[in-house]
Amino acid sequence: MENSQVFAGLDIGTTKIACIIGRKNEDGKIEVLGHAKAPSIGVKRGVVINIENTVNSIKTVVREAQQQAGIEIEYVSVGIAGQHIKSLQHHGGTLRENSEEVIRKKDIEQLLNSMYNINLNPGEEVIDVIPQEYIVDNEQGVRDPVGMLGKRLEANFHIIVGQTTAAKNITKCVKLAGLKIVNLILEPIASARSVLTDEETEAGVALVDIGGGTTDLAIFYDGIIRHTAVIPFGGDIITEDVKEGCSIIRKHAEELKVRFGSALSEKNRDDEIIAIPGLRGRPPKEISMKNLASIIQARVEEIIEQVYYEIKNSGYERKLSAGIVLTGGGSMLRHIGMITQFITGMDCKLGLPDEFLADDVEESLKSPIYSTTIGLVLVGMDRFEKQMQQIEKERKRQSEGEDDTNEEEVGGAQEVEEEVKQKRGFLSAIKDFFEKDDL
């Protein structure tokens, strides 16, 4: 096995920390070499609140995944979420010095990198910059301007912004666990990569990832991401509601929610009763399933209403022909798709990451619980392949002896190729402050 073929995704969530190590097989699907998950006791609503506990959990899952895979990993793609995350639409442009030369990748990178310097509120940092479409000399709707002639190069960008301290804490945890981040990816974007098809993103779709601490939204239209949002409620707050409403301990509340919970109270009869063990010799406690569903329904309605508000606020409500796709652990709650349809009036389905997994992958990994982790692996693969394609283009241009190929570009391609070898399959460089010693 060549290490350059291996990719790793690390999902640092509120309820779990999961790691998947995989590679692409002959059919273009993920062959999972190793995977593991452990309870997350140092993260709340997507934000690290206890570095030591988080580091220990990361070490545990990575060690187990490495043992299964039979290899050691050094670089990982990591997801980021939390209520501090927000998205911006931004327009940027640059004038090229020589309009007689075709637009090259370095022109695109120069424009993209300039977006990391936009004015933000104190304490905020640009996490990721996603180009939506390019404009070359007022010619709009350009997907890939490389090779075109033009004086002015512009683009519309979707920019992900988060708190600098939150991003640094995630990076510090990963670094203390003996790993390096090569891609820091917004979790709903990773989840979307693993559960959505090209047809759905082209037609227009809203991906809703219901996690433990947050519910993440990503809206796609015409194959382009248009809007992202993070809602600070998830499965954990539903468990808390059940705990308080039924006067039981959290462990029993979680079990009730998972095994018997429903998002629609009308689907349960009044005479359906669940008995849970009493505490320290006390008699069993009886709980009505209809009452349990009523508690859950109230909170689910609040979450979906906030999701619907974000969809309407995006301006794409009437353009989402593919409707809503639910994923994440919270999407496994019974009847949640039905209540989502009631509130939004939009088609709704459950999103599973099974389409991108090899046939021999165990069934447990095909659950919505692993949508984000699998998506992180897929995004790592995508970025690697994109960089490799660029290397081949530069090689071809050099071999054909094109007059407009300069030594700087050729050298740049060689540097990227060397980085591929060193990073064993990952190419994207993390920002300088993520690697500072003071972390």
Q: Backbone dihedral region of 222: left (phi > 0), alpha (psi from -120 to 50 degrees) or beta?
A: left
Q: In tens digits, what is the pLDDT along the chain, a chain of 439 residues?
A: 344 589 999 999 888 999 999 998 888 889 999 999 998 888 887 788 899 999 999 999 999 999 999 999 999 999 888 778 888 889 999 888 888 888 888 888 889 889 988 888 888 888 888 888 899 998 888 888 888 888 899 999 989 888 888 888 999 999 999 999 988 888 899 999 999 999 999 999 999 999 988 999 999 999 989 999 889 899 999 999 999 998 899 999 999 999 999 999 998 887 888 888 877 778 888 889 999 999 999 999 999 999 999 999 999 999 999 999 999 999 999 999 999 999 999 999 999 998 889 888 888 899 999 999 999 999 989 888 887 877 777 777 677 655 444 444 444 444 444 444 443 333 333 344 334 444 3
What is the C-alpha to C-alpha distance for residues 14 and 12, in angstroms, rounded to an integer? 7
What is the C-alpha to C-alpha distance for residues 115 and 155, in angstroms, rounded to an integer? 10
The per-residue pLDDT for 83 is: 77
The per-residue pLDDT for 143 is: 85
What is the C-alpha to C-alpha distance for residues 314 and 322, in angstroms, rounded to an integer? 16
What is the C-alpha to C-alpha distance for residues 365 and 367, in angstroms, rounded to an integer? 5
All residues at 6 or more sequence positions from 323 whose CB lies less than 8 Å from its CB, including other chains: 205, 206, 346, 347, 348, 349
What count of Cα atoms within 13 Å lies in the side-chain half-sphere of residue 175? Answer: 14
What is the C-alpha to C-alpha distance for residues 371 and 55, in angstroms, rounded to an integer? 22
The per-residue pLDDT for 270 is: 79
Give the CATH number of domain 85-162: 3.30.1490.110
- Which regions of 283-345 does DSSP assign to beta strands (E)? 285-288, 324-327
All residues at 6 or more sequence positions from 200 whose CB lies less than 8 Å from its CB, including other chains: 220, 322, 325
What is the C-alpha to C-alpha distance for residues 155 and 130, in angstroms, rounded to an integer? 10
In the chain, what is the straight-line distance between the N-terminal and C-terminal CA atoms, in Å? 34
The per-residue pLDDT for 401 is: 59
Spell out the domain ranges in the chain.
85-162
Closest of 283, 209, 276 to residue 243, by C-alpha: 276
Q: And the tokens for 314?
A: 């995006």
What count of Cα atoms within 13 Å lies in the side-chain half-sphere of residue 154? Answer: 13
Closest of 334, 356, 286, 306 to residue 365, by C-alpha: 356
